[in-house]
Amino acid sequence: MASEDSRALKVALAGAAVASTGLALALASASVYASYFARDARGGSMKKKKLAHETWYAATDQDGRIASLAEVRKGALDGGIPHSLRAEVWPVLLGVRKCSNTSVEHEQGKRSRREQYGEFLRRCAELEGWLTKPVKGLANLPSDLASFTEASRIIAADAPRTTFTYGTFARDWESGILSGDDEDELKMEWRLAQRQRLTRILEAYAILDPVIGYTQGMNDLAAVFLRDISNESEAFWCFAKFMGGSYRCHFLINPHESAPSASKGQEGVSDRLRVLSEIIRIADPPLHKHLKFLNAQECMFAFRPVVVLMSRELADAEIGLLWDMLIAGGDHEPTSRANGTLAGGGARLFLHVVAAALVSMRSQVMACKKNDDLMQLVARKLPARKFTAHELVRKAMDLMKTTKGLGEAIEVASRASIALEGL
């Protein structure tokens, strides 16, 4: 992270204290992820039974500490996490909640995270207030006003267009109002509440990470966390941790031009698309040759699936399952290594998931005569294929054996991780 970026982040965090780095969590992820690959390599079948409540509660000791995550990760990788458990399990797997914390410390941590989130929202309100003030000179304007103004303008347009699916929050919302109310009215009310929560979360992230600010597609990611995490602050931190690590580069369109503080080694989404192209070249040379014929070897046709992490390409239930597996495998984290070899992390599994979807459609891709045909194929027929998360992950794992784990994202300091230190 460049020095200017670091200073901006420190100001935004208002003196957050330094604490643990979460190395143990990353190593645990590496171990389970590596064993998952080994089991699949031996030809073992992938279980489809979701993580059992008993398995989750058995991982917790009498003081509320998470004593062991191995079985929890295995269950999430095999079959996903039930809606009713995601609000508890996702914060742990994402490193928002520390495994070593007791129940009391966990509640204290939630309060600290809520207070920090509140600071971001207060800063949003301050900047919005500046928009109504008479301007007497550019020197008097806050340094983050321009970037926030641009972010909030796009958020205001995107939030109403975001699709919210029925989930835990909707259930919790409806349980707090009269059951005799009209069903359609209830749905309108929780959608409005979700839109307001989404707006606050996205604006807060623009304060947390001013280099990214807000980019279209982030609303789709945040909506998934808002679906199953009723606590708005916890939903924010889970969203920020998930997209702020190895996936953060998906939201940098021009990393060297988006901000003067952008690191020279920073990747952008175009870099990740080129890596996707290389995965396809190794996995399916004839298919890659056809992409070159179409002048599509840069894989810009896959821009949307990569940016929104397949959230517009899969059915609602499959999106949650895919993300359960990505989170449990630590794909959002920097690459970890086990016994000297690549294990989880680095956003490598996800890129192979996208490649698996494209390779599965190779006959349709090969039938495309021009680039526009390919763009329309991915935009319209990729979602219509009704892929399952298990199918894509299994095929992605097979591809990773061929590519030897190609596609490691450049490691960056997660703004959310820094913000959470000491909370």
pLDDT bracket for residue 73 (50, 70, 90): very high
Radius of gyration of the chain (CA): 21
Asked if the model's pLDDT at residue 26 lies above 50, the reply is no
Q: Rounded to an integer, what distance in angstroms lies between the CA atom of residue 289 and that of residue 366?
A: 10
Backbone angles phi, psi at 342, to 5 degrees: -60, 135
Per-residue pLDDT tens digits for 83-137: 999 999 999 999 999 999 999 999 999 999 999 999 999 999 999 988 877 766 6
pLDDT band at 411; cut points 50, 70, 90? confident
Give 110-160 as a DSSP string.
Answer: HHHHHHHHHHHHHHHHHHHHHTTSPP--GGGS-TTHHHHHHHHHHHHHHGG
Kindly report the average pLDDT of the chain as a whole number.
Answer: 84
349-361: average pLDDT: 96
Task: Give 44 or 142, the one with higher predicted confidence.
Answer: 142
Question: pLDDT value at position 342?
Answer: 64
Give me the pLDDT at residue 180, please.
45
Residues 50-68 have a mean pLDDT of 92
pLDDT at 144 (0 to 100): 87
* Top mean-pLDDT range of 68-77, 125-134, 167-176, 285-294: 285-294
Q: How many CB atoms lie within 10 A of CB 161?
A: 9
**Model confidence pLDDT, tens digit, residues 376-388:** 999 998 888 889 9
pLDDT number for residue 283 = 95
Higher-pLDDT residue of 142, 395: 395
Of the chain, the percentage scoring pLDDT greater than 90 comes to: 61
DSSP output for 270-336:
HHHHHHHHHHHHHH-HHHHHHHHHTT-TT-GGGHHHHHTTTTTTS-HHHHHHHHHHHHHTTTTSPP-
Of 329 and 264, the structure prediction assigns the larger pLDDT to 329
Using the predicted structure, report yes or no on whether residue 158 has a pLDDT greater than 60: yes
Segment 163-216, tens digit of pLDDT: 888 888 888 877 765 344 566 777 788 889 999 999 999 999 999 999 899 999
